[in-house]
Structure 1
Amino acid sequence: MPIKLPIIMALLLATTARAQEETISFPAAVRFETGDSWQYEGRKFRLFGVQACIRGTAYHAPDGTESDCGMQSIASLAALFSTGSIGCQPVGRANDDASFVVCAAQIDNATVDVGTALISSGAAFAAAYPSGAPVSAAYAVAEAIAKDSGSGLWAGRFAHPVSMLLDKR
């Protein structure tokens, strides 16, 4: 299966990342801000290497309906949080003091990297540095597979959030 490499790479990243603190477990009851960030107990968390659709941008489904692309990403993240136990390992701090985290979900006795799950299902995208290089090569591969197969958001039309953010530099 072609998806094994991204999953293995993402899990390797999750297990080898230098931790700043203990693993944090999240219940389903967090406050989602975007499809890659949430608040819990007064702290903000953001998935490392993941970029969700930007809220307020249009998503055009194959059937012609239009919706908020950012809300589509939020719904996917919320659905993933509701399906299993989520544990995250902090790997750094963002400029806005959010904790960058790499997360795993326990779903049906399997451990799944949250970033890989979102990106490979077409619900989110591989984040990029200002240079345009992907933050995670494994996530870039997962995105390419999702795009090629027309998974999730890739089935319709939208403005790619990484392109939009890089154009604003």
Structure 2
Amino acid sequence: MRIELSIVTALLVAGAASAQEKTISFPSAVSFETGDTWAYKGRKFRLFGVQACLRNTIYRAPDGAEADCGLQSIGSLAALFSTGSIGCQPVGTAKDEATFVVCAAQVGSATIDVGTALISSGAAFAATFPSGAPVSAAYAVAETTARENGSGLWAGRFTHPVSALLGEH
């Protein structure tokens, strides 16, 4: 019941925010902070329902090479921004005043959901509520599919960012 109430509350906040602000288009030249957060024109934006790999955590590739897992996520987000037009709809405000957004990318003739693209490719993960329940069921399914297919980061070893943030590692 608490989870359903949280989801309803999030949707109400999202509806109120979207009624107040129109879609924001971004050029590829934004300042990436993490694989789910960037700054543009003095404002911070964060993908709603998406959790990037944490900066300064280790990703071990199948060949044993090590890299900063957070930088891997940033690279994937930056690559999406460089492929074409990104448009985002504000859906709320985070505790740190970042604007939560849901974004679409125009890649060739296709329009793709940025969160789904990052998560299904194994570059990011489905964010959760503190209870551990996913913020987005669709993103949770995309993460499960990426994990089962060994896509992106799932091909190697890393500390799952949600586990780290919830203190489960």
- Asked if Structure 1 and Structure 2 have the same fold, meaning a TM-score greater than 0.5 normalized by the shorter chain, the answer is yes
Percent identity between the two aligned chains: 77
Q: Counterparts in 2 of 1:1-169, with a 5 A limit?
A: 18=15, 19=18, 20-167=20-167
Query: Aligned with 1:157: secondary structure?
Result: coil
TM superposition shift of 1:122: 0.1
TM-score by length of 2: 0.89
Query: Aligned with 1:103: secondary structure?
Result: strand
Distance in 2 (alpha carbons) for counterparts of 1:73 and 1:107: 19
Which 5+ residue runs of structure 2 have no aligned equivalent? Answer: 1-13
Distance in 1 (alpha carbons) for counterparts of 2:75 and 2:111: 21
Distance in 2 (alpha carbons) for counterparts of 1:96 and 1:162: 18
Cα shift readout 1:79-135 (whole Å, capped 9, x = no counterpart): 000001000000000000000000000001111000000000000000000000000
Distance in 2 (alpha carbons) for counterparts of 1:22 and 1:119: 25
Query: Could you tell me which amino acid in structure 1 is paired with residue 49 of structure 2?
Result: G
- RMSD (CA atoms): 0.8
Which 5+ residue runs of structure 1 have no aligned equivalent? Answer: 1-16
Distance in 1 (alpha carbons) for counterparts of 2:91 and 2:26: 16
TM-score by length of 1: 0.89
Aligned residues: 152
